Amino acid sequence: MDKRQLKFNSKAIHGGQAPDKAYGAVMPPIYQTSTYAQTTPGGHMGYMYSRSANPTRTALEDSLASIENGTFGMAFGSGIAAIDAVMKLMNPGDEVIATSDIYGGSYRIFRKIYEKYGVVFHFVGMQDLEEIKAKVNSNTKLIWVETPTNPMMNIVDIKRVSQLAKKHHILFAVDNTFATPYLQLPLDLGADIVMHSATKYLGGHSDVVLGALVVKDKDLADQLYFIQNASGAICGPMDSFLVLRGIKTLHVRMQRHCENGRAVAQFLADHPKIDKVYWPGFPDHPNHEVAKEQMKDFGAMISFVPKGGDYQDAIKIVERLQLFTLAESLGGVESLAGHPASMSHSGIPKEEREKSGVVDAMIRLSVGIEDSDDLIADLRRAIEH
């Protein structure tokens, strides 16, 4: 049976997986080893040293490639380490065009680390393709897209950006952390690289930090495998195992995340004390049509702004929440709330933040898979107090 032909739910469980060769273990063992016995120099069974490759990590990397409809998967110690590996493809003078309301840590590594090495970054609102076109020149080497964006929940049209990137021979990467391959498949839509913070939905249980890249092209994969081994930002076997375990329930979790996300978004939109709700599932969301086209559903990441609210009002609401945990991160089974201005996006200067709409009063929710009635009751109590 060709497992590449399986549908998504089956791939989440079986993609790239085979029972362990030694004893038939159905889950790949956690190969907690740094090195592997050789019978003669070079006489090994495919593994020599665990920075280069480890069987538990390989099982995860094959699963990642499978669920993203890619060919090659690479797992790293964190999402940022995966981004770092992509950035190491750049040379001084190369230019990168990135989504303006991007994950704070991505912005930080771009501006604070890679600018120092002569890489030039342009941050643009990517809902309008013209904004990207305006920054393209002969030095442009990479377009970096996040969609839905964080925390504005804007949607970037992956297919149209990929057409632009192909026309100008620019590498095109999509951070698929928020959507997951359950909702959208960037490689199918023309991206060259898919990146994940598997810390979020892929792991899904808030118990591991891990990053991933998936590509289709062999040459690109070879370059990235070289960087992965040469720079060494790999993840350990235990963490690989945890994410592999998480992926096996990704589709059922995502289905419930999306149901709960819809219920919570609707509750907030109907509430008289709420001014704005950002969620791509609303028909009046500016990019709703694109979201409908490229996503299977609309996810469970929601941002909202209380009416007439300021920095302190947002802080008070998040402090009053009892079922939503006030915490960084997202994508776990439990619901989390965050205050971008003081937490995830505090590293982005206020003017730059507000230019893309991230006001001081904004609250971001990662809606979990509890009962939505309980989540709504918690929000109602915190908002109405």
Ligand X SMILES: *Cc1c(COP(=O)(O)O)cnc(C)c1O
Q: Please pick, from the candidates 103, 110, 182, 324, the single residue that binds ligand X as defined by CB under 6 A.
A: 103
- Strand 211-215 and strand 120-124: pairing? unpaired
φ/ψ (deg, to 5) at 159: -65, -45
Catalytic residue among 3, 51, 160, 320: 51
The yes or no reply on residue 211 touching ligand X (CB under 6 A) is yes
Residue pair 74/81 in contact (Cβ under 8 Å)? The answer is no
d(CA 168, CA 338): 38
3-state helix, strand, coil in the chain (%, to 5): 40, 15, 45
Q: How far is the CB of 76 from ligand X (least distance, A)?
A: 8
Q: Is 200 one of the catalytic residues?
A: yes
The smaller minimum CB distance to ligand X, of residues 330 and 375, is found at 330
Q: Please pick, from the candidates 29, 105, 125, 190, the single residue that binds ligand X as defined by CB under 6 A.
A: 105
Q: Is 167 one of the catalytic residues?
A: no
Longest CA–CA separation in the chain, Å: 74
Q: Which residue has the tokens 């040379």?
A: 91
The yes or no reply on residue 125 touching ligand X (CB under 6 A) is no
For the packed helices 79-87 and 218-231, what is the interaxial angle rounded to 10 degrees?
A: 110
The SS3 of residue 213 is: strand
Q: Which of 42, 82, 341, 353 is nearest to 211 (CA)?
A: 82
The yes or no reply on residue 175 touching ligand X (CB under 6 A) is yes
138-167 binders of ligand X (CB under 6 A): 146, 150
The smaller minimum CB distance to ligand X, of residues 209 and 365, is found at 209
Q: Is 57 one of the catalytic residues?
A: no
Site size for ligand X (CB under 6 A): 16
Q: Which residues pair with 144 in a beta bridge?
A: 98, 173
d(CA 175, CA 153): 13
The yes or no reply on residue 199 touching ligand X (CB under 6 A) is yes
Query: Where does this chain touch ligand X (CB under 6 A) — which range of 11-19, 40-48, 65-73, 100-108?
Result: 100-108
The yes or no reply on residue 100 touching ligand X (CB under 6 A) is no
Q: Is 175 one of the catalytic residues?
A: yes
Catalytic residue among 103, 182, 201, 225: 103
76-95 binders of ligand X (CB under 6 A): 78-80
- The residues annotated as belonging to the active site are 51, 103, 175, 200
